[in-house]
Structure 1
Amino acid sequence: MQILQPFIAHTPIWVWALLAFLVTRGVMAMKAGETTLAKLAIVPALFSMWGLWSINHRYPESWSAWSLWLAGIAAGACIGWMLLRRVQLRLDSSTGMLWRPADFSLLPLLLVTFVVKYGFESALAMSPALATDGAFRAAYLLLPGGFTGIFIGKYCRYLVASRRVVADGREAPAA
């Protein structure tokens, strides 16, 4: 437990608030319900902003860093797209709300993504020299980029499905 104490003590409050928010979102997603595209965009936007901040902070002028992160996002987006290949949405035309099925993959993905990102940031805080290690740098950029991409891919799937629902005026798969 003493090993964890410095991590806990030096972690900014906003990180704990983010974790609480992510857990809340993940638990809520396990129930089918109504939502909006704006609410579905929050998680991909949060992880994208965190990633953008990280790259700007660590590698502001490195095109290779941006390329690795974007490659991770592209790979992750393909995975996220595939995870929701059978999603069914309904649109309430009077309220504009989308009905989406339960998503049991979101909470584990959120937790793993948070732990990976937190772990990398903690390692860099303890040993800033890691930022120059090629293998660490690649993992630091590709893995969080990949997880961010999963959320982006899932959101894109919801976006496509909602457009089909609007166009057809009925429940539609996201294919």
Structure 2
Amino acid sequence: MNMLQQFASHTPIWVWALLIFLLTRGIAAMKPGETSLAKLAIVPALFTVWGLWSISQRYGASWVAWGEWLVGIVAGMGIGWMLLRRATLTLNPATGKLWRSADFTLLPLLLITFAVKYGFESALAVSPSLSANVTFSAGYLLLSGGFTGIFIGKYCRYLRASRRATEGRLGAAS
């Protein structure tokens, strides 16, 4: 059995289910349409929880590890915010849902993020001592945080658009 087959056969079923879910989210985002803020929060929440779990399992209370992950998140948030700078985002007052233009960045980002996280997690599963390697850990934590931050930054842009629309409606009603 080659190495790729070994990894695939030892990967938990939930990981494949997650990949399928991420693919469906990415494909759906390529069509403009209305969606709720709750639905838009799923991906950033998912990657945040996955990151929190992974770091707490591998690094415990290491301030360095948590700090590197948070630095990645902050940097990623800026990138995520910028990715939607030209998107059309409006709130439909009748439904309370956000109308967004097609997002062609989500699918590639989801696939790259999944591949990077899968690669790092696989390497750590095969060789747990890698978590003690400063260079490997910094790369893992900064990238993991960075990708999580991109999704958080995009969500913050959606949240801002929704709040601005709500504030505009409330101001017009006064």
Q: Sort the TM-score into its range (normalised by shorter chain).
A: over 0.9
Q: Percent identity?
A: 70
Q: Which residue of 2 aligns with 1:163?
A: 163
Q: TM-score, normalised by structure 2?
A: 0.95
Per the alignment, residue 125 of structure 2 pairs with: 125
Corresponding residue for residue 89 of structure 2: 89
For 1:9, the equivalent position in structure 2 comes to: 9
CA contact (8 A) 1:47 1:148 kept: yes
Q: 1-side partners of 2:165 and 2:87: how far apart?
A: 12
Matched AA of 1:141: L
C-alpha offsets along residues 127-174 of structure 1, whole Å, 9 cap, x if unaligned? 1111100100101100011000000000000100111111223xxxxx
Q: Distance in 2 between matches of 1:124 and 1:65?
A: 15
1:86 positional shift: 2.1
1:105-116 superposed matches below 5 A: 105-116=105-116
Query: What is the SS of the residue equivalent to 2:85?
Result: coil
Q: Which runs of 4+ in 1 moved over 2 A?
A: none
Other-structure match for 2:172: none
Asked if structure 2 preserves the Cα contact closer than 8 Å seen for 1:76 and 1:153, the reply is yes
Aligned-residue RMSD, C-alpha? 1.0
CA distance in 2, matches of 1:10, 1:65: 27
> In structure 2, how many angstroms separate the alpha carbons of the residues matched to 1:122 and 1:64?
22
Deviation at 1:90, TM superposition (A): 2.1
Pair 1:43 & 2:43 matched: yes
Distance 1:81 1:132 in 2: 33
- Aligned position for 1:65: 65
Are the aligned partners of 1:89 and 1:98 in contact in 2 as well (CA < 8 Å)? yes
Shift of 1:89: 1.8
Tell me the matched-pair count.
169
* Partners of 2:73 and 2:150 within 8 A in 1: yes
Match of 2:80 in 1: 80
Counterpart of 2:57, as a letter, is H
1:173 — aligned with what? Answer: none
Cα separation, 2, equivalents of 1:164 and 1:48: 25
Unaligned 5+ segments in structure 1 are 170-175
Secondary structure of 1:95's aligned partner: coil
Distance 1:163 1:8 in 2: 43
Q: Are the equivalent residues in 2 in contact too, given 1:88–1:161 (CA < 8 A)?
A: no
Contact 1:78 1:153 in 2 (8 A): yes
